[in-house]
Amino acid sequence: MALRQIRIQGDVILEKKCREITEITPRIKELIEDMFDTMYDANGVGLAGPQVGVLKRICVIDIGEGPIVMINPVITQMDGEQTGEEGCLSLPGKAGVVTRPNHVVMRAFNENMEEYELEGEGLLARAICHEVDHLDGHMYTEKVEGQIHDVTYEEED
Ligand code: ZN
C-alpha cells in the first residue's frame, strides 16, 4: 500500500488539462493501486490523476458499490438534474451545493485498456462528472451555488 500526497486547491496542477493514456505500463498499474489506497485512506469516493500530481486522464471512483477505474473517460450522455452537497479531497473539510445531471452515460477504458460503457445515476453520476472535470482542470468550487462551508463529518457513503 502506497499513499500519494493529495494536492490541495491552489496548486496549479489542479488547473491543468490532462493528457490521454495510450498504454497500460507497470507505472500506470502502480498509479491505479496507489490512487485507490490514497482515496480509501482519505475516505473519498473519487480521485483524479491531477489530485496526486499526475496529469493523465485517469480517475478512480468507489461510492460504496465497488472500485471503478476510468481511463480516458468521455461522458456521452447526460440528462436530468440533481442539486446537492459536494466535497473534494483537494479541499478537505469543505462542501458546497452543486447542480449536476442526475444520469450520465460514460465511455472509458479499464485497467486492462478494455473499453467499457457505464451508466450512472444519483451519486455515481455526480462522482463521474466531478472526476472528469478534474481532468480538464476544473474544481467543483467553480460551480458552487451559494457559500462553500465547513463540514464536521466525513463524507457519507
Ligand atoms: Zn475533487
pLDDT in tens, 80-115: 999 999 999 999 999 999 999 999 999 999 999 999
**How far does residue 133's CA lie from ligand 1's centre (Å)?**
8
At 38, phi and psi to the nearest 5?
-65, -40
Residue 154 has pLDDT above 80, yes or no: no
Residue 127 has pLDDT above 60, yes or no: yes
pLDDT confidence of 157, banded at 50, 70, 90?
low
Q: What is the pLDDT of residue 155?
A: 52
Q: What is the pLDDT of residue 1?
A: 76
Give the active site residue among 81, 86, 131, 155: 131
Global pTM reads 0.95
- What is the C-alpha to C-alpha distance for residues 120 and 101, in angstroms, rounded to an integer? 10
Contact of 68 with 39, CB cutoff 8 Å: no
**How far does residue 92's CA lie from ligand 1's centre (Å)?**
10
Q: What is the pLDDT of residue 152?
A: 77
Q: What is the pLDDT of residue 153?
A: 63
Residue 135 has pLDDT above 80, yes or no: yes
Q: Give me the DSSP letters along 84-122.
A: EEE--TTSTTEEEEEEE-SEEEEEEE-TTS-EEEEEEET
**How far does residue 43's CA lie from ligand 1's centre (Å)?**
12
Residue 156 has pLDDT above 60, yes or no: no
Contact of 16 with 50, CB cutoff 8 Å: yes
- pLDDT tens per residue across span 20-74: 999 999 999 999 999 999 999 999 999 999 999 999 999 999 999 999 999 999 9
DSSP structural state of residue 90: T
Q: What is the pLDDT of residue 62?
A: 98
Residue type, 133: D
Could you identify the residue written with the cell 490541495? 8
- What is the C-alpha to C-alpha distance for residues 129 and 123, in angstroms, rounded to an integer? 10
* Nearest by Cα to 109 from 144, 140, 73, 156: 73
Reply yes or no on whether 86 is catalytic: no
